[in-house]
């Protein structure tokens, strides 16, 4: 089992205001935990710079130019109440896209069985025409379209276990039955979307959880809604929007998951990928704002990817 890791120093140069939860230390925590000896066989690669044209797979040119214009020459610029940009933010976002697309190439070519992309800024809140929730561009959505356009994937599934609903991914694929979007998340919580009755073209499967829910409710959501949806859909690729802010230590929400729950979910999705998708699974880091909870959870997730 070959598990590849993509990361890049540029991700540390995307700066946010003091006290902002989406900060460079998140990546430093991930990097430190993956230096452990048990990850010695991880196939480590530097993220390539993305092709700007691929952003148009999920966003109109007007949105791309709006984000580009918002990048400051110095200091920080606020895009919305939660989302800030610094001079290197454009390069960081573009390199995150490059890594996700390279990961898709890897699993379709057989260069890797699965891939984890440790990048920032995250992406799943970015709607077609709106940057929000710490996100500029929807990396997972771009990667799904990339798989379809470059590798002939007919159907792609995106499974999102970030504690916040991926409103952006839902927005991009709302009326596109070739992409299945499945999400567990806390409700009510930012951004306010993700109810069970939000079903798009029958391709949106939301499994909201309540504050205080732990591993049992999370696993039940997978067993009753997400895994059956994957079986019925039979995707050619599974992309995971792997946010770890449902961990009980996280300051931005009230779910009670542990790293063992993420290990379990990873194993379940790997089994689905084995049966349905030729083992093709790409995992993209989204949220996770307590540094210890994030590190423990990423370690469990990547260790499971490596074990197969």
Q: What is the chain's pLDDT, residue by residue, as a tens digit (308 residues)?
A: 899 999 999 999 999 999 999 999 999 999 999 999 999 999 999 999 999 999 999 999 999 999 999 999 999 999 999 999 999 999 999 999 999 999 999 999 999 999 999 999 999 999 999 999 999 999 999 999 999 999 999 999 999 999 999 999 999 999 999 999 999 999 999 999 999 999 999 999 999 999 999 999 999 999 999 999 999 999 999 999 999 999 999 999 999 999 999 999 999 999 999 999 999 999 999 999 999 999 999 999 999 999 97
Q: What is the pLDDT of residue 45?
A: 98
Helices (H), 179-237: 215-221, 227-233
* Cβ 244 vs Cβ 297: under 8 Å: yes
Task: Tally DSSP H helices, then E strands, for the chain.
Answer: 9, 10
Q: What is the pLDDT of residue 117?
A: 99
Q: What is the pLDDT of residue 164?
A: 98
Residues 6+ apart with CB under 8 A from 146: 54, 57, 100, 101, 104
CA distances from residue 267 to 86, 144, 195 in whole angstroms, order as listed: 37, 21, 26
Q: What is the pLDDT of residue 308?
A: 77
- Tell me the CB-side half-sphere exposure of residue 268, using CA atoms within 13 A: 22
- Residue 215 structure tokens: 């591993």
Residues 6+ apart with CB under 8 A from 263: 300, 301, 303, 304
Q: What is the pLDDT of residue 122?
A: 98
Give Rg (Cα) of the chain.
17
What residues are annotated to the active site? 125
Fold of the domain spanning 3-307: 3.40.800
Sheet holding 114-117, edge to edge: 43-46, 3-7, 114-117, 281-285, 237-242, 156-160, 179-186, 204-209
What are the boundaries of each domain within the chain?
3-307
Q: What is the pLDDT of residue 200?
A: 98
Q: What distance in Å separates the CA atoms of residue 126 and residue 132, rounded to the nearest whole number?
A: 6
Q: What is the pLDDT of residue 133?
A: 98
* Largest pairwise CA distance in the chain: 50
Q: What distance in Å separates the CA atoms of residue 276 and residue 199, rounded to the nearest whole number?
A: 22
Q: What distance in Å separates the CA atoms of residue 155 and residue 170, rounded to the nearest whole number?
A: 16
């Amino acid at each position: 089992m070959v598990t590849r890791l993509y990361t890049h120093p540029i991700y540390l140069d995307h700066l946010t205001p003091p006290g902002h939860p989406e900060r460079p230390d998140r990546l430093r925590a991930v990097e430190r935990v993956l230096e452990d000896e048990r990850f010695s066989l991880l196939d480590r690669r530097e993220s390539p710079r993305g092709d700007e044209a691929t952003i148009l797979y999920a966003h109109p040119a007007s949105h791309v130019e709006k984000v580009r214009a918002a990048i400051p020459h110095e200091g920080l610029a606020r895009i919305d109440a939660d989302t800030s940009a610094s001079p290197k933010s454009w390069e960081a976002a573009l390199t995150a896209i490059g890594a996700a697309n390279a990961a898709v190439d890897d699993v379709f070519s057989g260069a890797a069985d699965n891939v984890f992309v440790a990048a920032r800024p995250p992406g799943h809140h970015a709607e077609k025409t709106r940057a929000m929730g710490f996100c500029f561009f929807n990396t997972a959505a771009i990667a799904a379209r990339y798989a379809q356009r470059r590798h002939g994937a007919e159907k792609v599934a995106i499974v999102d276990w970030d504690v916040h609903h991926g409103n952006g991914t839902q927005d991009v694929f709302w009326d596109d039955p070739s992409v299945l979007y499945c999400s567990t998340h806390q409700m009510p919580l930012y951004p306010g979307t993700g109810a069970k009755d939000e079903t798009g073209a029958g391709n949106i499967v939301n499994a909201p959880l309540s504050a205080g829910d732990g591993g049992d409710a999370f696993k039940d959501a997978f067993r009753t809604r997400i895994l059956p949806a994957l079986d019925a859909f039979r995707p050619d690729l599974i992309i995971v929007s792997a946010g770890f802010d449902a961990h009980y230590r996280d300051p931005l929400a009230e779910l009670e998951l542990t790293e063992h729950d993420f290990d379990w979910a990873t194993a379940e999705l790997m089994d689905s990928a084995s049966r349905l998708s030729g083992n093709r699974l790409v995992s993209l880091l989204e949220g996770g704002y307590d540094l210890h909870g994030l590190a423990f959870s990423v370690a469990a997730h990547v260790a499971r990817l490596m074990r197969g």
